[in-house]
Structure 1
Amino acid sequence: MTDEDRSATTHFGFLTVSKAQKALMVADVFHSIAEKYDLMNDLMSFGIHRLWKRFAIQCSGVRRGQKVLDLAGGTGDLTATFSRIVGEKGDVVLADINESMLKMGREKLRNRGILGNVSYVQANAEALPFSHNIFDCIIMSFGLRNVTEKDQALKSMYLALKPGGRLLILEFSTPRCKLLKKAYDLYSFHVLPCIGNIVAQDARSYRYLAESIRMHPDQEMLKSMILAAGFNKAEYFNMSGGIVALHRSYKF
């Protein structure tokens, strides 16, 4: 394979595909699982994803009156909480590249009476359709691993943040303990697709989920990528033994 061929391809889980093909394949995954997304999150994490997200919100430093971007925000769990935190004078933008996920998020939040300070934008993280320097905080929860050009997405987030703004990336990562990693691999590649097949009638999408986690940069690599995009003071916090990590950085 030539250098030109490599530059035109990327990974979809363990498969090598063209970059254009990956975007379509990821879209198909989330169109397929959108209706069962919240239920599957609870089942496959045993509800612990709520604690991971709560910690991310605590680390965000978001205050009343601020403007927050919930990027790849899916069905809006984080948006709902940030809406309450920023209050009537604040703004929260729920953005997702996938139309089905964004529709589910809009319906869920509106059914909960969350209306006034939340807006919805279908957006690609690699080229955010926002002015520069407008958000106090950008958070991306379990979405970065699905982005084809992660470096470009991080640069786009940097531009959208205000000076002094904070970026938080909550994502599956690399377990620190070898024994935990073996157990996690067993669960991911054997149990998780079975749950997906039973609940969502879609084992393939949850097999991709497990593979995409393994192909995602580990904690130190992602930290280096964030710094290379221009951010300052990048740090990360391991949770559940490193199964998940929260990266936090600042734009100064």
Structure 2
Amino acid sequence: MLGIKYQDWCNQASANVNQAIKSCIYRDAQGYWNENMITGEILSSLIKIGTDINWKDKPLKTVWQGLKLSGTPETKYGDIAVIVRIWVNKEKYIDGVVFYEAKKQYFQNGAAAGFKSILKGQLNKFILNTSACHAVLYDFIETENGEQAIAATMQTPILNLLESIAKTAKTSRQVYDHSRLWIAALGENLIGRGLDFNNVTVQTMIDFFASKASPNFVISAAISFVEDFEPELIPNSIFGEKYKDFKHPDQPSPRRLYTKSDDLDLS
């Protein structure tokens, strides 16, 4: 079990996410700059920190696992469904969910071209109109002060209303004014915050796992409020046989030969 303070976990997770995004942009030529690969690299980096956590500064324990859709996915988007079971004592629990739609920044000749895949997700209209649905935006910026990797999040309905801004090259990064770091949101999810506990929303998420547009990644977590009680995860049976325990991201197919002097064409 990993014993760590909450802010220390957030700091380490943020560093791992930044490195994972940079790793993908550096290997664009090998096909890594797409939502599935970025999400896979990020989750792999978080698993390495630990999935059995005793929070030193909170009266909580968290266990979590990463699952990945096996076979050929119906969608190319690296979406993440998060489902959390919170045990308030040894007998009573409540389930909560949140969904992150992954959107990458597109590039043309090395310059940002906008988030072109907005409104192309696979969520049904019900999920889109609840507080459970968020976008996670992947980006990479080179500045005079160095390189900056970004994984930001905001509620999907708001991002959809900002579609024209987000899709336009010159204005796409203005959406960050209305976002927050994704790892901060995920960290809160892992301690039982920022979740939708509505029974209908939770059941809709569970039904979503069995649909043709199943999310490619799942984070299943369990939290215990009781010091001497190990939280039990939601049974994997609700995800079906098509989800497998996730350890390492897949290898993409090579796209073209690459040299560092090449412009990044991330379309």
* TM-based fold match above 0.5: no
More helix per residue: 1
More strand per residue: 2
Structure 2 length as normaliser, TM-score? Answer: 0.28
Larger Rg: 2
Structure 1 length as normaliser, TM-score? Answer: 0.29
